[in-house]
Structure 1
Amino acid sequence: MQRPLILVTNDDSIVSPGIRTLISIMKEIGDIIVVAPDSPQSAMGHAITINNTLHLDKVNLDPEIEHEYSCSGTPVDCVKMAVHEILKRKPDLCVSGINHGSNSSINVIYSGTMSAAVEAGIEGIPAIGFSHLDYSWETDFSPIKRFVKKIALEVLKNGLPEGVVLNVNFPKSEKGEIKGIKVCRQAKAMWIEEFDKRTNPQGKDYYWLTGEFVNQDKGQDTDEFALENGFVSIVPVQFDLTAHHAIQTINNWDL
Structure 2
Amino acid sequence: MDKPLILVTNDDGITAPGLRSLVRFMAEIGDVVVVAPDSPQSGMGHAITLDSTLYSSKIEIDSNDGVIAEYSCSGTPADCVKLGLQELLDRKPDICISGINHGSNSSINVIYSGTMSAAIEAGIEGVPAIGFSLCDYSWNADFEATGEAVKSIVLEALKNGMPKGVVLNVNIPKLPKEELKGIKICRQARANWKEKFDKRKNPMGKDYYWLTGEFELLDKGEDTDEWALANGYVSVVPTQFDLTAHHAIQHINNWNLNEY
The TM tier, using the shorter chain, reads: over 0.9
2: CA distance between counterparts of 1:82 and 1:174? 34
Secondary structure of 1:106's match? helix
More moved, 87-96 vs 33-42:
87-96
Contact kept, 8 Å, 2:130 with 2:170, in 1: the verdict is yes
Q: Confirm whether residue 128 of structure 1 aligns to residue 124 of structure 2.
A: no
2: CA distance between counterparts of 1:232 and 1:175? 11
Give the superposition deviation at 1:177: 1.4
Q: Confirm whether residue 49 of structure 1 aligns to residue 76 of structure 2.
A: no
Q: Please list every run of 5 or more consecutive structure 2 residues that lacks an aligned counterpart in the other structure.
A: none
1: CA distance between counterparts of 2:144 and 2:36? 22
Secondary structure of 1:128's match? strand
Name the Cα RMSD after superposition: 0.9
User: What's the counterpart of residue 153 of structure 2?
Assistant: 151
TM-score, normalization: structure 2?
0.97
Task: Give the one of 192, 211, 214 matched to 2:213.
Answer: 211
Contact kept, 8 Å, 1:9 with 1:116, in 2: the verdict is yes
Give the superposition deviation at 1:67: 1.1
1: CA distance between counterparts of 2:177 and 2:12? 25
Deviations 1:104-162 (A, max 9, x none): 00000000000000000000000000000000011111221000000000000011110
Contact kept, 8 Å, 2:194 with 2:214, in 1: the verdict is yes
Given residue 204 of structure 1, which amino acid in structure 2 is its aligned partner? K
2: CA distance between counterparts of 1:181 and 1:174? 15
Given residue 53 of structure 1, which amino acid in structure 2 is its aligned partner? T
User: What's the counterpart of residue 169 of structure 1?
Assistant: 171
Q: How does 1:28-67 map to 2 (within 5 A)?
A: 28-64=28-64, 65-67=67-69
1: CA distance between counterparts of 2:140 and 2:115? 19
Contact kept, 8 Å, 2:31 with 2:68, in 1: the verdict is no
Given residue 207 of structure 1, which amino acid in structure 2 is its aligned partner? Y
User: What's the counterpart of residue 15 of structure 1?
Assistant: 15
User: What's the counterpart of residue 189 of structure 2?
Assistant: 187
Contact kept, 8 Å, 1:197 with 1:207, in 2: the verdict is yes
Give the superposition deviation at 1:174: 6.1
Task: Give the one of 222, 231, 245 matched to 1:229.
Answer: 231
User: What's the counterpart of residue 87 of structure 1?
Assistant: 89
Secondary structure of 1:137's match? coil
User: What's the counterpart of residue 139 of structure 1?
Assistant: 141
Q: Please list every run of 5 or more consecutive structure 1 residues that lacks an aligned counterpart in the other structure.
A: none
Give the superposition deviation at 1:175: 7.6
User: What's the counterpart of residue 117 of structure 1?
Assistant: 119
1: CA distance between counterparts of 2:89 and 2:110? 27
Contact kept, 8 Å, 1:185 with 1:223, in 2: the verdict is yes
Contact kept, 8 Å, 2:145 with 2:176, in 1: the verdict is no
2: CA distance between counterparts of 1:175 and 1:53? 42
Task: Give the one of 98, 101, 113 matched to 1:99.
Answer: 101
2: CA distance between counterparts of 1:223 and 1:156? 23
Secondary structure of 1:225's match? helix
Q: Percent identity?
A: 70
1: CA distance between counterparts of 2:52 and 2:117? 20
Q: Which runs of 4+ in 1 moved over 3 A?
A: none
1: CA distance between counterparts of 2:95 and 2:20? 17
Contact kept, 8 Å, 1:182 with 1:232, in 2: the verdict is yes
Secondary structure of 2:62's match? coil
Give the superposition deviation at 1:63: 2.5
Contact kept, 8 Å, 1:143 with 1:177, in 2: the verdict is no
Give the superposition deviation at 1:62: 2.1
More moved, 31-40 vs 57-66:
57-66
Contact kept, 8 Å, 1:126 with 1:159, in 2: the verdict is yes
2: CA distance between counterparts of 1:239 and 1:102? 20
Deviations 1:58-112 (A, max 9, x none): 0011223331000000000000000000112110000000000000000000000
Corresponding residue pairs, total:
255
